[in-house]
Amino acid sequence: MSETIINDFSLLCRLFGNLFYRCPDDPILAGTFLWLQQGQLKQHWALTTDAQSEQALAKIEQGAHPTALGKDYQALFGEQGAIATTISAYGLPVADFATFREQRGMPPLAQPDHVALLLLTASWVEDNLQSLEAQKALFEQFLLPCLSKFLGKVEAFDSGFYKALAQLCRDALAAMADELEEADSENPA
């Protein structure tokens, strides 16, 4: 796999994970929203774009206003939100996810039952492990089974910023899954 794709994928996972994990008014995200408003995601988007992804990138840039997004975030992902953000809600054992992280030397999580932590874990695996096996296991056991359902719900319940975010996240995951499959076929076990 090329270093550029890995770094791009890590950046995207970190970005998407934090935006799904944190309320938009979280001070940690202030610089992220400024970066999005400046069109930096579009400038750094490494995947091929089509009309749908171009539209999603534009929606992200135009909608990156934390104050306005707070209400949407709470309606979608808050305690009484329309969409479950727990891994367990999508039928995956949280203990297995915690074990996956532990076996790879990742720091323990106080509350590992959140779908965004799958994306943040993918970023960590990209940055810290040179293991095709770990990447494949994360994708097959956790990322794809959980996030395909979660992202579908986001796309069904929202028509703005978070729908665009879900679409772009799906594109990035599909591209990386294809790359992992290609790497696996080039280096069969």
Whole-number average pLDDT of the chain: 92
Cα(3)–Cα(126) distance, integer angstroms: 10
User: What single DSSP character describes residue 106?
Assistant: P
Cα(53)–Cα(147) distance, integer angstroms: 18
Q: Which domains does the chain have, with CATH numbers?
A: 2-186 (1.10.3480.10)
What is the band of 188 on the pLDDT scale with cuts at 50, 70, 90?
Answer: low
pTM, whole model, 2 decimals? 0.92
pLDDT of 3 higher than 50: no
Cα(63)–Cα(46) distance, integer angstroms: 21
Cα(9)–Cα(132) distance, integer angstroms: 14
Span 96-155, pLDDT tens digits: 999 999 999 999 999 999 999 999 999 999 889 888 899 999 999 999 999 999 999 999
At 95 the three-state DSSP class reads: helix
- Give 7-40 as a 3 state SS string: HHHHHHHHHHHHHHHCCCCCHHHHHHHHHHHCCH
Span 54-63, pLDDT tens digits: 999 999 999 9
